[in-house]
Every structure is written in C-alpha cells, then in structure tokens.
Amino acid sequence: MVFRDIGKRIQRAREENGLTQEQLSARLGCTQSALSNYELGKRKISLSLLTEIAQILNRPLDYFMEPATEEKGGESSSLRMPRL
C-alpha cells in the first residue's frame, strides 16, 4: 500500500461522514492544504494522525491500512505497506 491509497481511503471516509476538508482539518488541528496533501498521497501521514482520523471518522485503523490488491492476469498480488 502506498500513501496515495491511504489518502483515497481518508477522502472516501471523510465524504461518507459528510465532512469537508476544512471541517476535518479543523478537528485535526492542521491546515486544509496539509489534509489535501495527505489525501493525494503527496505528504506522508504519521500513525498518530491516522489514528486520530480513524477515531473522528468512526473507522477502524485497519480500514486505512489494509493492503490493496491488483489483478494481474487473474492473480492477486498485495502491495507493500509503507513505513510510518
């Protein structure tokens, strides 16, 4: 899993909770720009911040950390987890 995949899951969970980037970033104590960069995978996210996001968005931490799989020729292959 790459940070871009984690970011996509943050964005999906945020939208499902009906929050804007501005609202979530205010609750996290970071800027909207920083949150945008996390969601786009342009900025690495710390485990402590991801834990806080999981709590705010009512998701288990592993929702964001589950390895994504790619289908290649009918076979699934897991992507590596990033070092946090």
- Residue type present at position 44: K
Q: pLDDT confidence of 84, banded at 50, 70, 90?
A: low
- Residue type present at position 57: L
Residue pLDDT, tens place only, 12-70: 999 999 999 999 999 999 999 999 999 999 999 999 999 999 999 999 999 998 876 54
Q: What is the mean pLDDT of residues 79-83?
A: 49
The reported pLDDT for the residue numbered 66 is: 82
pTM for the complete prediction? 0.78
Distance CA 74, CA 63 (A): 25
- In terms of Cβ atoms closer than 10 Å to its own Cβ (0-12, 13-18, 19+), residue 41 is middle
Largest CA distance in the chain: 44
Kindly tell me if the per-residue pLDDT of 74 is higher than 80: no
Going from the N-terminus, what domains does the chain have, and what CATH number goes with each?
3-67 (1.10.260.40)
Distance CA 84, CA 70 (A): 22
Which residues, including other chains, have CB under 8 Å from residue 6's CB and lie 6 or more apart? 38, 41, 45, 50, 64, 65, 82
